[in-house]
Amino acid sequence: MSQSLAVYQTYPWLTAQWQQWQQLSGRLGHAYLFAGPKGIGINEFVKEVAHAALCKQPHNGQACGQCSSCHLFVTQQHPDFFELRRLEEKKDISVDQVRSLIYKLNETSHQGGYKVTWIEGVEYLNQSAFNALLKTLEEPAKKTLFLLSTHQVDRLPPTIKSRCQQLNFTTPAMPEAISWLHAQYPQGDDALIKRALRLNWGAPLQALEWIQAGMFDEDSQWKNDLKQIQSGRKTASQSVAEWLKWQQPERVFDYFYQWSVSAVRSVMYQTEGQTSQVTNGQVQNWLRFQQAVLTAKQNWLANANKELVLESLCLEWLSIQQSETPLQTVFQSRIQKGALA
């Protein structure tokens, strides 16, 4: 078994974080928090850190890929590696899951080295689970390593963050992301690559997944539906009914948000000599709609009536196409309970 490429070689935008990790791991602590957006390789980074920590003969901070411990890790059979995440169809990570983990960590290491725990999506721990984890972080068992990853670091209690050394991750610069995507998907043109990145918030891995899943067809359907709604050939209800059949209908919010970003950019970044027919009222509407999209998505995730949320958003989009005066949005920053239930 040969040593594979380091994670920063596969995802070059992680080089700075890898160098930072090398400095931190010189004197390995007991708990680390890896925080950043989805789709940039954080999970792969954490797996490599766990792999190296369990390796019997690591080299330059990377697992050798040849020892018995590496073989167990690669085949997902390592007895000293524990993963904790939300169970399928559950909203949070329960205290019972944490207690079960703690019980295992109190046992003797099978391989005589570290016992490594990866808590993926640590922000999903409920309050009781946070309290149970906090006690363990305060008094960790000998040679125990906690690796916590999150895409929503602001949701974590300060008491958890204060007991971890933190590595922060960000999306790569657009030119770097475009270059990487072209290498992974050489048949894609610039327009497709840039559209995929914008719709996936600059996250290269998510953008690549979007392309490979053929989501540009879905994107084209959404654009065509808006044209038909605007021309009166289709109602908002008819379009929403089709969107709700998508595998991930919540992508509609990303499409609407990027529309608003493009609309505002078209005015803000006009070159000298260009003239604009856009009124100040229209720009205000676009900015207000941009915030409305984010609020609508929050309502959706909070189990509001999904059909009503999308229809309301669609009708609001149609209204701002037909008016040059500032309009009020139905999506307030804090919608009253039950308003869209």
Q: For the segment 298-341, what is each residue's pLDDT rounded down to a tens digit?
A: 999 888 899 999 999 999 999 888 777 767 777 765 444 444 43
Q: For the segment 253-294, what is each residue's pLDDT rounded down to a tens digit?
A: 999 999 999 888 877 765 555 445 667 878 888 888 999 999
Q: Which residue has the higher pLDDT, 174 or 272?
A: 174
Residue 246, token pair as written in the block:
């998508």
**Same domain assignment for residues 158 and 232:** no
Residue 71 lies in a domain: yes
**Same domain assignment for residues 117 and 224:** no
Residues 6+ apart with CB under 8 A from 210: 196, 199, 200, 216
Question: Which pLDDT does position 269 carry in this prediction?
Answer: 64
Phi-psi region of 114 (alpha: psi -120 to 50; beta: other; left: phi over 0): beta
CATH number, domain containing residue 99: 3.40.50.300
**Same domain assignment for residues 148 and 242:** no
Residue 202 lies in a domain: no
Work out the pLDDT band at 180, boundaries 50, 70, 90.
Answer: very high
According to DSSP, residue 123 is labeled G
**Structural domain for 158, as ranges:** 7-168
Residue 110, token pair as written in the block:
């099978």
What is the reported pTM? Answer: 0.83
**Same domain assignment for residues 256 and 136:** no
Q: Which H helix or E strand runs over 288? A: helix 280-301
**Same domain assignment for residues 259 and 317:** yes
Q: For the segment 48-107, what is each residue's pLDDT rounded down to a tens digit?
A: 999 999 999 988 888 999 999 999 999 999 999 999 999 887 889 999 999 999 999 988
Residue 102, token pair as written in the block:
């703690």
Chosen domain end from 147, 168, 189 = 168
Among 208, 88, 85, smallest CA distance to 148 is for 85
Helix/strand/coil percent split, the chain, to 5: 55, 10, 35
Residue 1 lies in a domain: no
Burial class (CB in 10 A: 0-12, 13-18, 19+), 186: exposed
Work out the pLDDT band at 198, boundaries 50, 70, 90.
Answer: very high
Q: For the segment 129-170, what is each residue's pLDDT rounded down to a tens digit?
A: 999 999 999 888 888 999 999 999 999 999 999 999 999 999
Q: How many domains does the chain have?
A: 2
**Same domain assignment for residues 17 and 160:** yes
Question: Which pLDDT does position 276 carry in this prediction?
Answer: 57
Among 317, 208, 212, smallest CA distance to 257 is for 317
Pairwise CA distance, residues 240 & 288, whole Å: 21
Residue 334 lies in a domain: no
What are the residues facing 105 on neighbouring strands? none
Question: Which pLDDT does position 335 carry in this prediction?
Answer: 40
Mark out the alpha helices in 25-166 (DSSP H runs).
42-54, 68-74, 95-105, 127-138, 158-161
